Amino acid sequence: MRRTLGRITARLGGAVFVLWAVASVTFGALRLIPGDPAQAVLGGPGSQASPEALAAVNAEYGFGRPVLVQYFAQLGRLATGDLGRSYALNVDVGPLVLSQLGGTLLLAVLSLALAWLLALALATWSTRGGKIASRVGSSLEIVAAALPHFWFATSLIVVFSIWLGVLPPISTGGIAGLVLPVLTLAVPLAGFLGQIMRESLLIALESPFVLSARARGETERGVRWIHALRHASVPAISLSGWAFGSLISGAVVVETIFARPGLGRTLLTAVTLRDVPVVIGVVMIVAVAYILMTLLTDIASHLVDPRLRLT
Amino acid sequence: MQAELLTGADHSGRPRHPGLVDGAAGLLALFLLVAAIAPQFLAPGDPLAIHPLAAFQPPNLTHGFGTDESGRDIYTRVVHGTRYSLVIGFAATAIGLGLGVILGTLAGTLGRVVDFTVNRFLEVLFAFPGLLLALLFIVIFGPGVATATIAVGLSTAPGYARIIRAQLITVRSAAFVEAATVLGRTRWQILLRHILPNTLAPLFVLGTLGIGQAIVWAATLSYLGLGAAPPAAEWGAMLSAGRTYITSAWWMSFFPGLFIVLTAVTATVLGRSIDRRMRHL
Amino acid sequence: MPLRHPARTRRLLAATVGVVTFGLLMSACTATDSQEPVGDPNSGGTLTYASGDAEPSCLDPHVGGNFPQALVSAQYLESLVSRNTDGQIIPWLADSWTVSDDGLTWQFTLRDDVTFTDGTAFDAAAVQANIAHVQNPTTLSSTGYLALGKVTGTEALSPTVVRFTLSEPDSALLESLSQPWLAMESPAALERSQDENCASPVGTGPFIVQSWVKQNAIILVRNDDYVSPPADAGHSGPAYLDQVIWRFIPDSASRYAALQSGEVDVIDNAQPDTIVQATQSDSLEHLNSPRPGASNRIELNSGQAPFNDVRVREAFIRSANVDDAVSSLFQGTAIRSYSALSSVETTAISNANLFDYDPAAARKLLDAAGWTETDADGYRVKDGVRLSVRFPVSTNQSIPAEQSVFEQIQATAKETGFEVKLSPMDLSSWYAALASNDYDAVSAPYTKVGPDVLRILYHSDSIVPAPSGYFANHAQVNDPEIDELLTTAASTTDAALRTSLYADAQEHILEGFYILPLYDQQNHFLLRSDVVGLRTLPTVAVPTLYDAWLNR
């Protein structure tokens, strides 16, 4: 009991440390970007704002104060859960980010799930089918993993929306509008996960516990599906935490191309407009999501293979 | 374990003879290398020469890959652009690997406190979406090939560090290391002669996998307008420019995209092939 | 198809381009009646509009004042006056107006039958409240604020008569008042917090803002009590459409794909190749409406080397082959401009002779200017300094075809010895480069109704940066003669004199080789064929959905 408590405390402590570090690095990085923060507040760069307006903004937002003071003020606000107000969009960052989070999370979760399915299917099929299937499967995975998101997205739009006309080219809120974005993110990831899974599946199939299962008389199918896959999934599960992060990156491009509301597009706009509170807000939410995801994958790994300790 | 999986370790125990796929990859690699070092041999034209009245031509006998919006020959541009992409790919991967090796080794060898600290540091880097890291870096230091390369390298370093650290820990507890300790070798000897070579061996394949990824990353940065300056014939920039005309001139984005994919595939296949050969030496 | 006879193919290509251009010109000139008679308008339906411009941060165009705001606010806000296609100012919310002899007092007689959609009456007091709102520093208006620069006060002489008092005569006042950035909003609504007013401004227009889900869409519904179309509108009474969904699709390929598949009905910022495809398709129509104000031009920074020497400026202009670039990249959808002003301005002067592609002449000019040596890469050198032109390019404002025009200019200028360094940047970095004088050539659009834009762009006062660092005179023209012409033109009340003064000013500007005109500010709309009656307001060329209906 005490060990578990100790481990949980350690994890929480680690999580808080990560959040603090992420906030600090973002704050520092955004300070380094050339440009006047008052600009962003006054309607973006190139605004022909009057000196009174600039002075008012500087006073209200405290841009003139020393950097350390602003830093601690920011940390203080974050600690109380106050994400501040967007400079450019004139709304509170918290509600804005939370409203955009749903769309991106949906995309990420669906893409991860589809990538898993595709990778599993391909890995199983190619190990079962012999040498040629193995080669074909391997090649498919390598090619899939090398597809750039924006090129693949546009190709899908050309084929399915323009030539075939069966799917909408932009997301207007229905399920049909999700298909192409999810495919765009899932296929390259499936290529990567599939390579991992196939190799670990091959290793697992030669492991002692599998041989003993065969000796006990379980069918070939039973062996594969229950034992080998379970063991083989472990590395893929642990990589899913990283995969989630890369899906967020991919979401930036996918949301822009398919005009989907989401964190990726919000982030890109915020960086372009030097909208500091929104950038920090998005980064914090993503960090929290990442930490939760890591926890989930650790638990899943432990469930699948009890030999692994919860680190 | 993860490193092994990525290297595609051969489980049959027999050395494999070079197959058709390996041969093709080898030829392609040769083509790409020549294109990077001496493109004039493969494409004698000028990649920057414009012919406005010959714009948007589909692939034909004079222009094998067609022409772009300014009448430039796409085949020539793709060949001359190999240099940028290969340099970005290699350099970014080198930066990422280098940083990853340093971080991973620190974490894996210097005791629990250092391990803990570096692990936290890696987690922080992981919590940033890679693209955001690259975006922030480029916005601070300005766009261009150099900053794009460093940005991509930085984003990939944590991934390598993690794998190397895991590999290091696995190797450290392996039987032959125990044997060496029992035999009386010093810590440094063990590190240099046994641990490091076994840990760094999968790096080769990791790196080749990474080259393809780095090139794709850099292409995405070009799409977002943060890559090489025009009129450079960089694949990512060509892909991004060609995307605008995808419904009327598909060849403008198809061929650079094809080469990006082919390069990534070649690097991966070659890497595995060479690694297999090295294991059986 | 093998190119066995390149010369013949070139001629064929040129002929094709010519035919396409002619065809597009014809369709552009008769944009509003290019559709065959389709019967009586249907009432009802929802139209989806997808804009390629950025989503505004505030729907009230008094705040800030940019083109994305103008696009959407034209559906629910109206101005005192409008402009017709002949360039004349016509009545809108104001029925008539007079100006005193000294030009310092303007009197507007307003319509007495107009109400804002929240029930407040439109009267002189409302006009006063709006002018005060724009001139109030806390509103943070930039475009409207500048346009009212000479207005010192307003007075309500009666509920329907309002008087404007000016510090100096302003010949551009009516043109300024026709713009969406000085549109009339309900005074009661203006009293709300800025956040509330930004989310749903209240006006007199044919539509009402129902809701705005940020990063998603703005929903507009019909104003059933609408009575105040401008004098050149197609009908009177309420609009035909029930509802308008206003979306934002930043990616041009996705935007066009959405139009093709029927997900959206109208798109703006159409790219040249999609325009060509659309004109060949039966289900799509094309509406071309160049924006007023300045033409799209490259401005050469005459405030520092190398362009502080007029011979070098002229050499650069003569070494750039723009005609071939424009015709091949824009495929007939853009016509080469040789003027500082948009072709919709009746006061525009054009001089093609100054802009001939003549590399030989360019080389002689460079020799005369002292740039006689050439280095190993082929670029001219003088006193050890290379002839370098820094050209920051805003990827937000320059469409890909335009960026390619710059690339082609870079290539042809190289043959004469200029090293053009193109740097694509995002908007913030671009403004920063301009503010720190880190440029030799730049292309910056400026939309304004009327020739007064010349004063904003070429008067030496405009070299002085605003506190934000922004300045409009990127060519850094500092010529007392031009200043004199522009200042006098801005205060004269005689229309004929005004036109001739602006003509003089434009000749000076063009002959000074400060700018290289490219084409009009492109403003192309593509719509589904069953959208009938869509037109653009001849003020700032924004679309108005008032007369539009769906033939389905």
Interface contact flag, C325 B53, Cβ < 8 Å:
no
The 10s digit of each residue's pLDDT in B75-89 is 999 999 898 888 888
Question: What string of DSSP letters covers chain A?
Answer: -HHHHHHHHHHHHHHHHHHHHHHHHHHHHHHHS-S-HHHHHTTSTT----HHHHHHHHHHHTTTS-HHHHHHHHHHHHHTT---B-TTT-SBHHHHHHHHHHHHHHHHHHHHHHHHHHHHHHHHHHHHSHHHHHHHHHHHHHHHHT--HHHHHHHHIIIIIIIS--S-SS--SSSHHHHHHHHHHHHHHHHHHHHHHHHHHHHHHTSHHHHHHHHTT--HHHIIIIIIHHHHHHHHHHHHHHHHHHHHHHHHHHHHHTT--SHHHHHHHHHHHT-HHHHHHHHHHHHHHHHHHHHHHHHHHHHH-TTS---
Quick one: pLDDT band at residue C207, thresholds 50, 70, 90?
Answer: very high
Strands C243-248 and C217-222: antiparallel
Among the partner residues B48, B71, B247, nearest to C277 by beta-carbon distance? B247
Interface contact flag, B224 A283, Cβ < 8 Å:
no
Interface contact flag, A49 C466, Cβ < 8 Å:
yes
Q: Which of A133-142, A175-184, C84-93, C438-447 has the lowest mean pLDDT?
A: A133-142
For chain C, list residues whose CB is within 8 angstroms of any CB belonging to chain B. 1-3, 10, 13-14, 252-253, 256-257, 271, 273-274, 276-277, 321, 324-325, 327-329, 395, 400-401, 403-404, 406-408, 410-412, 421-426, 429
For chain A, list residues whose CB is within 8 angstroms of any CB belonging to chain C. 34-36, 39, 42-54, 56, 88-91, 96, 100, 154, 157, 161-162, 165, 168-170, 172, 256-259, 261, 265-266, 269, 272-274
> Chain B residues with CB inside 8 Å of A283's CB?
128, 132
pLDDT surpassing 80 at residue A208: no
A72 contacts: CB under 8 Å, gap ≥ 6: none
Average pLDDT for residues C210-234, to the nearest whole number? Answer: 92
> Chain C residues with CB inside 8 Å of A165's CB?
261
Residue A217: its pLDDT value, please?
67
The 10s digit of each residue's pLDDT in C258-315 is 898 888 999 999 989 899 999 999 999 999 999 999 999 999 999 998 999 999 999 9
Average pLDDT for residues C135-149, to the nearest whole number? Answer: 85
State how far the Cα of C315 lies from the Cα of C297, in Å rounded to an integer: 16
What's the complex ipTM? 0.77
State how far the Cα of C248 lies from the Cα of C214, in Å rounded to an integer: 10
pLDDT surpassing 50 at residue A183: yes
In CATH, what is the architecture of B17-279? Orthogonal Bundle (1.10)
The 10s digit of each residue's pLDDT in B168-183 is 777 777 767 777 777 7
Of residues B148 and C219, the one with the higher pLDDT is C219
Residue A311: its pLDDT value, please?
45
Interface contact flag, B53 C421, Cβ < 8 Å:
no
pTM of the predicted model as reported, rounded to 2 decimal places: 0.83
Chain A interface, best mutation among B128, B163, B169, by max A CB count within 10 A? B128
Quick one: pLDDT band at residue C17, thresholds 50, 70, 90?
Answer: very low
Interface contact flag, B127 A286, Cβ < 8 Å:
yes
Among the partner residues B120, B139, B261, nearest to A17 by beta-carbon distance? B120
Chain A interface, best mutation among B1, B2, B85, B132, by max A CB count within 10 A? B132
Among the partner residues B1, B21, B216, nearest to A235 by beta-carbon distance? B1
The 10s digit of each residue's pLDDT in B190-215 is 777 777 777 766 677 777 777 877 88
Peptide bond into C230 cis (omega under 30): no
Average pLDDT for residues B228-255, to the nearest whole number? Answer: 82
Closest CA relative to residue C391, chosen from C403, C373, C375, C379? C403
Residue A308: its pLDDT value, please?
58
Interface contact flag, A283 B219, Cβ < 8 Å:
no
Average pLDDT for residues A47-57, to the nearest whole number? Answer: 67
Interface contact flag, C408 B225, Cβ < 8 Å:
no
Q: How far is A285 from chain C (nearest CA, A)?
A: 18
B9 near A CB under 8 A: yes
Residue A235: its pLDDT value, please?
72
A197 contacts: CB under 8 Å, gap ≥ 6: A119, A120, A123, A232, A233, A235, A236
Interface contact flag, B136 A29, Cβ < 8 Å:
yes
Residue C12: its pLDDT value, please?
44
> Chain B residues with CB inside 8 Å of C404's CB?
69-70, 241
Q: How far is C77 from chain A (nearest CA, A)?
A: 21
Q: Residue C500: in which H helix or E strand, if any?
A: helix C495-511
Residue A222: its pLDDT value, please?
67
C400 near A CB under 8 A: no
Quick one: pLDDT band at residue B159, thresholds 50, 70, 90?
Answer: confident
Q: Which of A163-167, B35-39, C228-232, C541-545 has the lowest mean pLDDT?
A: A163-167
Separation of first and last alpha carbons in chain A: 16
The 10s digit of each residue's pLDDT in A78-121 is 878 788 877 777 778 888 888 888 888 899 999 999 999 998 88
Q: How far is C289 from chain B (nearest CA, A)?
A: 22
Tally C-beta pairs within 8 A across A and C.
129
> Chain C residues with CB inside 8 Å of B233's CB?
none
Of residues C526 and A210, the one with the higher pLDDT is C526
Residue B233: its pLDDT value, please?
85
C193 near A CB under 8 A: no
Interface contact flag, B248 C404, Cβ < 8 Å:
no
Interface contact flag, A169 C263, Cβ < 8 Å:
yes
Residue A221: its pLDDT value, please?
64
Mean pLDDT of chain A: 78
Average pLDDT for residues A208-225, to the nearest whole number? Answer: 65
Q: How far is B192 from chain A (nearest CA, A)?
A: 28
Q: Which of A119-123, C104-108, C347-351 has the lowest mean pLDDT?
A: A119-123
Average pLDDT for residues C509-518, to the nearest whole number? Answer: 96
Contact C163, C107 (CB under 8 A): yes
Residue C382: its pLDDT value, please?
92
Q: Which of A51-55, B125-129, C81-85 has the lowest mean pLDDT?
A: A51-55
Tally C-beta pairs within 8 A across B and C.
86
B70 near C CB under 8 A: yes
Interface contact flag, B60 C1, Cβ < 8 Å:
yes
For chain C, positions 315-374, list CB contacts with chain A under 8 A. Answer: none
pLDDT surpassing 60 at residue C21: no
Q: How far is A174 from chain B (nearest CA, A)?
A: 25
Residue A225: its pLDDT value, please?
64
Exposed (0-12), middle (13-18) or buried (19+): which is B197, by Cβ within 10 Å? exposed
> Chain A residues with CB inside 8 Å of B260's CB?
146, 148, 151
The 10s digit of each residue's pLDDT in A154-173 is 888 888 887 787 887 777 66
pLDDT surpassing 50 at residue C26: no
Quick one: pLDDT band at residue A305, thresholds 50, 70, 90?
Answer: low
Residue of A nearest to B210 (CA): A146
Q: Which of A279-288, B20-29, C23-32, C535-544 has the lowest mean pLDDT?
A: C23-32
Interface contact flag, C408 B50, Cβ < 8 Å:
yes
Among the partner residues A206, A249, A294, nearest to B129 by beta-carbon distance? A249
Mean pLDDT of chain B: 79
B12 near C CB under 8 A: no
Q: What percentage of chain B exceeds 70 in pLDDT?
A: 88
Chains contacting B with at least 3 CB pairs below 8 Å? A, C
Among the partner residues B123, B250, B260, nearest to A18 by beta-carbon distance? B123
The 10s digit of each residue's pLDDT in A226-257 is 777 777 677 777 777 778 778 888 888 888 88
Average pLDDT for residues A129-143, to the nearest whole number? Answer: 81
Chain B interface, best mutation among A16, A139, A249, by max B CB count within 10 A? A249
The 10s digit of each residue's pLDDT in B26-66 is 888 899 999 999 988 888 888 888 888 888 999 998 898 99
State how far the Cα of A175 lies from the Cα of A274, in Å rounded to an integer: 34
The 10s digit of each residue's pLDDT in B9-24 is 444 444 455 677 778 8
Residue B85: its pLDDT value, please?
83
Residue C7: its pLDDT value, please?
45
Residue A47: its pLDDT value, please?
61
Q: Residue for token digits 């009212």?
A: C148
Interface contact flag, B231 C422, Cβ < 8 Å:
yes
Closest CA relative to residue C314, chosen from C358, C352, C350, C348? C358
State how far the Cα of C147 lies from the Cα of C61, in Å rounded to an integer: 13
Quick one: pLDDT band at residue C156, thresholds 50, 70, 90?
Answer: very high
B210 near A CB under 8 A: no
Q: How far is B183 from chain A (nearest CA, A)?
A: 31
Residue A211: its pLDDT value, please?
67
Residue A186: its pLDDT value, please?
94
Torsion on CA atoms A88, A90, A93, A95, rounded to nearest 10: -140
Quick one: pLDDT band at residue C8, thresholds 50, 70, 90?
Answer: very low
B140 near C CB under 8 A: no
Closest CA relative to residue A138, chosen from B214, B29, B8? B8
Residue C476: its pLDDT value, please?
94
The 10s digit of each residue's pLDDT in C157-173 is 999 999 999 999 999 99
